[in-house]
Amino acid sequence: MARHLITSALPYINGIKHLGNMVGSMLPADVYARYLRQTGHDVLYICATDEHGTPAELAAKEAGLPVDTFCSEQHLAQKAIYDGFALRFDYFGRSSSAENRDLTQHFARRLQANGFIEERAIRQVYSLADERFLPDRYIVGTCPHCGYDKARGDQCENCTRVLDPTDLIDPRSAISGSSALEVRETKHLFLLQSKLAGEVEAWIDEVGGEWPTLASSIARKWLTEGLQDRAITRDLEWGVPVPADTWPELAADGKVFYVWFDAPIEYIGSTKEWADAAPDGETRDWKSWWYEADDVRYTEFMAKDNVPFHTVMFPATQLGTREPWKKVDYVKAFNWLTYYGGKFSTSQRRGIFTDAALDLLPADYWRYFLIANAPESDDTSFTWEVFSSSVNKDLADTLGNFVNRVLSFSRKRFGDDVPAGSAAGEAEAKLGEQIAGLLAEYEGHLDTLQFRKAAAALRALWSAGNSYLEEKAPWMEIKTDPDGAALTLRTAMNLIHLYAVVSEPFIPSSSAAMRSAFALPDDNRTWVSQDEAKSLSFLAPGIPFTVPPVLFAKITDEDLEAYRERFGGNPDTAE
């Protein structure tokens, strides 16, 4: 059985992330990691804050803090939110760590030794007002491809095209806003991607056929357009320094590595942080996950704008070291979650941000909705109307109401223990077959990372319980056949326990509440086999139970109006 290494795109340090960022990387990775752990796999889920680069410096400047202090505070703030969403990282590191610094410098030295890094004199934008060279993200202007007037010097946020600062129309300094710019000569290191293009293409030919179309098409588009040599150093105060033992002149000039060079290496760096943070008496082997790791299956989660760097630039970096570093096996790429048709944006504060979401409603509401509506094949538009409908119908009515009415009715008529009743009959056998089939479907979609389909199968599992309850109608059955009604309720309670186990990847807190309703001190079940699902007999008669508080409160029309007023969103203009 393969070990599973999972990474999600590193959330950037310059502010709290929005829901689009959550659903495009960390949340589906968490759902997948939870499912694999529950089904007995050895899993390592690694993430970190991405802390270097221009936006970190600009955000720290705006906050009036030293950049290292700003990043430390933001790392803790983001980690608290991810804990609130119940994201179970095995380790959540920092790209500013010593481990990442050492590994990044190692990668650079290896690339240099193998002839894949070249020092070049280039002409770079210099700001007269700021008296410094401007890294590409310190320059903003109009994109020559789509006309977006806030494009950065490295990439247009609107159309995702990779840019050079000199491509921008009407460029200006992001620090001072000054357009008093001139071009001067300076030296930087270039990664010779053009020399590695053939190897990258051969690698994608080998593994990319399994990737979703979104990921493979973006990677191949870059290859078709031709890999260009890219500068991998910048003029910044904050970043992994160029090592003086290899490039003394550039080190003396204070050059640091480009954030997109060191950030993917942080996946490895964060794994080493995890190993270094092992408690006393425990030894963790970080290298076996990344170096000569033939028994590891590596899955990456990211939004589509991150795909080129993970499928082309980072693999080129790994290949160029001539060392056996583990490369990704499967890239799960997502389109964008939009907010009433407009893009969620950290920089423009458009949409719902993760801290506000947790202040508003429990994490499970968001986890379920986001995965059930994950932008897998196309961009998905968030609207409050769709959100409330999903919460009310799926969570409150289909699952929450089933749990409450089964346990409440059974306690009222049979007391606080699971009732015995008669032996299972034809209806229970039919239900068991249905549940086993739906469970197989659910597992299949999670195995293949089809999250919307997995959510639909999970919803169908919940609905099957309601259909069974309506068919058997224990509130009527008890009048003529008390033992039959007890059987119906016992079977329904077994469904509740099954739901608690298999729903955990989606709604972990609610699953724990369902599971804790039953007094099972030795309940260490991690998953339910299809044979067990057929029998629906895990809960024996006589087991005590309690009725948990309401699992999901419905979103009212008044709530909906308050949400629209606070966050914006007009149903008349929704796309």
Is residue 546 in a domain? no
Return the CA Rg of the chain: 27
Residue 44 has pLDDT above 70, yes or no: yes
Residue 349 has pLDDT above 70, yes or no: no
What are residue 8's DSSP bridge partners? 301
For residues 279 and 369, state if they share a domain.
Answer: yes
Is residue 110 in a domain? no
For residues 249 and 269, state if they share a domain.
Answer: no
For residues 236 and 322, state if they share a domain.
Answer: no
For residues 267 and 244, state if they share a domain.
Answer: no
- What is d(CA 278, CA 285) in angstroms, rounded to the nearest whole number? 10
What are residue 119's DSSP bridge partners? 189
- CATH number, domain at 498? 1.10.730.10
For residues 246 and 128, state if they share a domain.
Answer: yes
Is residue 558 in a domain? no
Residue 572 has pLDDT above 60, yes or no: no
- CATH number, domain at 296? 3.40.50.620
For residues 165 and 198, state if they share a domain.
Answer: yes
Task: Provide the residue range defining the domain that includes 178.
Answer: 116-256
Q: Which pTM does this prediction carry?
A: 0.92
Question: Would you list which residues are annotated within the binding site for ATP?
Answer: 346
For residues 475 and 400, state if they share a domain.
Answer: yes
For residues 138 and 236, state if they share a domain.
Answer: yes
Instruction: Give the rounded distance of the alpha carbon of 59 from its chain centre.
Output: 23
**Average pLDDT over the chain, rounded to whole?**
94
| Contacts (Cβ under 8 Å, ≥6 apart) of 244 | 251, 252
pLDDT of residue 348: 62
pLDDT digits (tens, 9 = 90+) for 449-481: 999 999 999 999 999 999 999 999 999 999 999
pLDDT category at 527 given cuts 50, 70, 90 is very high
- CATH number, domain at 190? 2.170.220.10
pLDDT category at 55 given cuts 50, 70, 90 is confident
Question: Would you list which residues are annotated within the binding site?
Answer: 143, 146, 156, 159, 346
For residues 465 and 411, state if they share a domain.
Answer: yes
Total structural domains within the chain: 3
For residues 240 and 266, state if they share a domain.
Answer: no
What are residue 5's DSSP bridge partners? 44, 298
pLDDT digits (tens, 9 = 90+) for 415-455: 999 999 999 999 999 999 999 999 999 999 999 999 999 99
pLDDT digits (tens, 9 = 90+) for 202-213: 999 999 999 999
pLDDT category at 568 given cuts 50, 70, 90 is confident
Per-residue tokens: 507: 């709604």
pLDDT of residue 548: 95
Question: Would you list which residues are annotated within the binding site for Zn(2+)?
Answer: 143, 146, 156, 159
Candidate from 28-32, 442-446, 516-520, 521-525 with smallest mean pLDDT:
521-525
Let me know how many helices (H) and strands (E) the chain has, helices first.
22, 17
Burial 42-78 (b: 16+ CB within 10 A, else e): ebbbbbbbbbbbbbbbbbbeeeeeebeebbbebbeeb
Per-residue tokens: 483: 């033992």
Place of tokens 């804790």: 516
- What is d(CA 376, CA 219) in angstroms, rounded to the nearest whole number? 17
Candidate from 213-227, 339-353, 473-487 with smallest mean pLDDT:
339-353
Burial 144-174 (b: 16+ CB within 10 A, else e): eeeebeebbbbbbbbebebbbbebbeebbbb
